[in-house]
Amino acid sequence: MPVIRECYAALPETPVYPTEQGGRTHNKILMGTWAGVVEDNGGERVKVSTAGRDGWVYRDALKDQMDLKVFFVDVGQGDGLLLESPGLRMLVDGGPNQQLLRYLKGYQYRYLLGNPGFIQFDLMVVSHFDADHYKGLTAVLNDPLCRVDSLIHNGIARFSTRRASRPAGHDTDLGQRRDDHLVTSFSDIDDARALLAGGGLQRTFEQFLRAAVNAHSEGRLGAMRRVDHRTGRLLQQQGLSVDILGPVTEDIAGSTGFRWLGGSSHTRNGHSVVLRVDYKRPATQGHTLLLGGDLNHEAQTLLMAHYHPDNPFRVDVCKACHHGSADFSVGFLQQVLPYATVISSGDNESYAHPRAEALGCAGRYSRGEQPLVFSTELARSVSSGGDVLYGMINCRSDGRTLMFSQMKERNSGADIWDSYVVQRQD
Ligand SMILES: [Zn+2]
């Protein structure tokens, strides 16, 4: 049946009934889920095509606007996130594998593959070049069905760990170091081409750059560039704004410098791109989200000092930095003080993520009587055969209601969601 009207679910869990008269609920769709009206007889319910089983929904349980949807996709040990808001599709990191791409093509945007025949993303963000954050994005860039308008990253490249293999002057595997700073000039597609020509790159990073350059040549990638705290507001549209809070860089003799944070791994993690997302503020109270890649203790201290006495880190929802590692600053958590924290991490890894003190502090340094701490590892189902719908943490906001949901490991009929509505207390 053709869709008469595009609508979206308005209730945290909107019931879908088998007949126009009602009957026993046979599906529930989360707030903001697309529901295309296919039959409207003027009654109190209309028939919709939607996620899961189609059926009849109360007319007043539907709305015209999609609002904000954040999907923390379970990519195992890594981060992979999809953010949708009216007129915007954005990926922030892509995990170490093809899980994100599987989700995008197999579920979320399967309907686009027939018509128009491709999936368009407005923005792709690489928080930093560690495989658990960007290797899955190489798969997206290599996929002929995916297009990306703009790709942003932190500008810290990866070179061979063997000094003899690296280009001249590259005294670390992240590039040139001057005193206690790493300096870089890596930003756009031309820089990517130059890096590929210069050789000596770390293999996974080389594959990513090649994918970006190829996608650009084939017209599937618009622009690529480095961002930092000076970028400020990255975009603003239809109630949503994205600001770049980090990395904080310095001008070192005409080059961009990153404070050396004690080691290669600490330096590249600590200078992750830090995004703050604001939705429908201040029109309604709105909601805010902080995504900080793999920030560590030193980096959080540096960020707080840079912004002092301001605190742009206070948000409603926070992705736990570095998969729930123990390398965090309590002072930073006290500044963020979210209602809900989402931890993205894997099983069968040697880091023991999420660490017990990270879980404890996520709860302790939160707002509200009943703070929420979500974990992709807890949401995952071992019996689902790796189905990417399990393990995903869904976050939705219409500017007034902020909700989270994860799929139950076992459903009974239409009762498939484990949902939470945040009670605002400020
Ligand atoms: Zn990581």
| 4 CA → ligand 1 middle, Å | 44
Using CB atoms within 10 A of its CB, is residue 348 exposed (0-12), middle (13-18) or buried (19+)? exposed
Per-residue pLDDT of 306-350, as tens digits, reads 999 999 999 999 999 899 898 999 999 999 999 999 999 887 777
| 273 CA → ligand 1 middle, Å | 12
| 342 CA → ligand 1 middle, Å | 14
Give the pLDDT mean for 163-172: 92
| 265 CA → ligand 1 middle, Å | 10
| 115 CA → ligand 1 middle, Å | 35
d(CA 138, CA 135): 5
Give the pLDDT mean for 390-410: 93
| 85 CA → ligand 1 middle, Å | 25
| 75 CA → ligand 1 middle, Å | 11
| 116 CA → ligand 1 middle, Å | 34
CATH architecture of the domain 5-63 equals: Roll (2.30)
| 14 CA → ligand 1 middle, Å | 35
* Distance (Å) of CA 155 to CA 62, 185, 262: 43, 7, 18
Q: Could you list which residues have their CB under 5 Å from ion ligand 1?
A: 132, 294
| 345 CA → ligand 1 middle, Å | 9
| 395 CA → ligand 1 middle, Å | 21
- pLDDT reading at 281 higher than 90: no
| 323 CA → ligand 1 middle, Å | 6
| 73 CA → ligand 1 middle, Å | 14
Per-residue pLDDT of 49-68, as tens digits, reads 999 999 999 999 999 999 99
State residue 283's pLDDT score: 64
| 133 CA → ligand 1 middle, Å | 6
| 356 CA → ligand 1 middle, Å | 18
Give the pLDDT mean for 136-150: 98
State residue 426's pLDDT score: 64
Q: Any residues with CB less than 8 A from the CB of 169 and at least 6 apart, and which?
A: 176
Strand segments (E) across 229-308? 232-237, 240-246, 250-252, 255-259, 274-279, 287-291
Q: Which class is domain 68-421?
A: alpha beta
| 330 CA → ligand 1 middle, Å | 19
Higher pLDDT, 226 or 285: 226
| 78 CA → ligand 1 middle, Å | 5
Q: What's the pLDDT band for 162 if we cut at 50, 70, 90?
A: very high
| 371 CA → ligand 1 middle, Å | 24
Give the residue among 64, 81, 61, 83 at the shortest CA–CA distance from 72: 81
Task: Spell out the domain ranges in the chain.
Answer: 5-63, 68-421
- pLDDT reading at 367 higher than 90: yes
| 56 CA → ligand 1 middle, Å | 43
- pLDDT reading at 160 higher than 70: yes
| 293 CA → ligand 1 middle, Å | 7
d(CA 15, CA 6): 17
| 79 CA → ligand 1 middle, Å | 7
d(CA 334, CA 304): 11
| 127 CA → ligand 1 middle, Å | 9
DSSP per residue, 137-171? HHHHHH-TTEEEEEEEE-----B-SSGGGSPTT--
Give the pLDDT mean for 175-202: 95
With residue 120 as reference, give the H or E element that holds it.
Answer: strand 119-125
State percent of the chain over pLDDT 70.
99
Angle formed by the axes of helices 189-198 and 203-217, to 10°?
Answer: 130
Per-residue pLDDT of 289-301, as tens digits, reads 999 999 999 999 9
State residue 284's pLDDT score: 67
Give the pLDDT mean for 275-287: 88
Give the pLDDT mean for 234-244: 96
Q: Are 393 and 365 in contact, with CB atoms under 8 Å apart?
A: no
d(CA 396, CA 7): 16
Type of residue at 7: C
Give the pLDDT mean for 93-121: 94
State residue 394's pLDDT score: 97
User: What is the SS3 assignment for 389?
Assistant: coil
| 274 CA → ligand 1 middle, Å | 14
Q: What's the pLDDT band for 72 if we cut at 50, 70, 90?
A: very high
| 141 CA → ligand 1 middle, Å | 20
